[in-house]
Amino acid sequence: MKFEFCPLCGEKLIDKYSWDEGYIPYCEKHDMMFFDTPKPCVVVAVIKGNEVLLLKQSYIFKNSKVLVSGYVGQNEKVEDTVEREVREEAGIEVENIRYLGSDFIENKEILMITYVADYKSGEIKKSAEVEDVMWIPINEALSHMKENRIGKNIIKKILNNKQQTGTY
Ligand SMILES: [Zn+2]
């Protein structure tokens, strides 16, 4: 978000020069700069054998399935968000969380931090906010994610890694 007014006192912010960053909205009263703030969100592909955990959430995509995702909480490590979201949405535990890279959702100011993780334990027990949770063969996952650009990118990376290293 590009700040126009000070979120602390409501004063109109002025542009202050900040070297490499260029001009940044600044509150004189608080002597504080307010940088644009993308919202960090995790996406994780949970792998079990040759299958990946997919969710059906029609409010995100009508005709596509999605990976587990969620916003990073205040005072929360990103890796903890990954574990928490998988537990909340699917009722299972993961291990070996590996960073896959990042992506963004244009015009939504959302920074997507993407991971792959291995299934550790538990039976699928979906949350009320999820319509369905299922294991889908990774080789078939792309055909379930037609509208889901970020999800497809993640699956492609995973398939690519598998080709190069022999493991997901
Ligand atoms: Zn202020």
Local structure of residue 90 (DSSP, 8 states): H
CB-proximal residues (5 Å) to ion ligand 1: 6, 8-9, 27, 29-30
Report pLDDT digits (tens) over 78-127: 999 999 999 999 999 999 999 999 998 888 889 999 999 999 999 999 88
Q: Which domains does the chain have, with CATH numbers?
A: 1-37 (no CATH), 39-165 (3.90.79.10)
Is pLDDT larger for residue 127 or for residue 144? 144
pLDDT score of 37? 85
Q: Fill in the amino acid letter for 161.
A: N
**90 Cα: distance to centroid of ligand 1 (angstroms):** 42
- Following CA atoms 112, 120, 87, 103 in sequence, which dihedral angle do they give, to the nearest 10 degrees? 0
Strands (E), the chain: 14-17, 23-27, 32-33, 39-48, 51-56, 68-71, 93-105, 110-121, 132-137
Report which of 129, 116, 136 is spatially closest to residue 46, judged by C-alpha positions.
Answer: 116
| Amino acid in the structure at residue 28 | E
What confidence tens digit (pLDDT) does each residue in 53-64 have?
999 998 889 999
Tell how far the Cα of 25 is from the centroid of ligand 1, in angstroms: 11
| Percent of the residues in the chain that have a pLDDT greater than 70, as a whole number | 100
**What separation in Å is there between the alpha carbon of 15 and the centre of ligand 1?**
13
The structure's pTM equals: 0.86
CA 39 to centroid of ligand 1, rounded, Å: 22
From ligand 1's centre to the CA of 44, what distance in Å?
Answer: 38
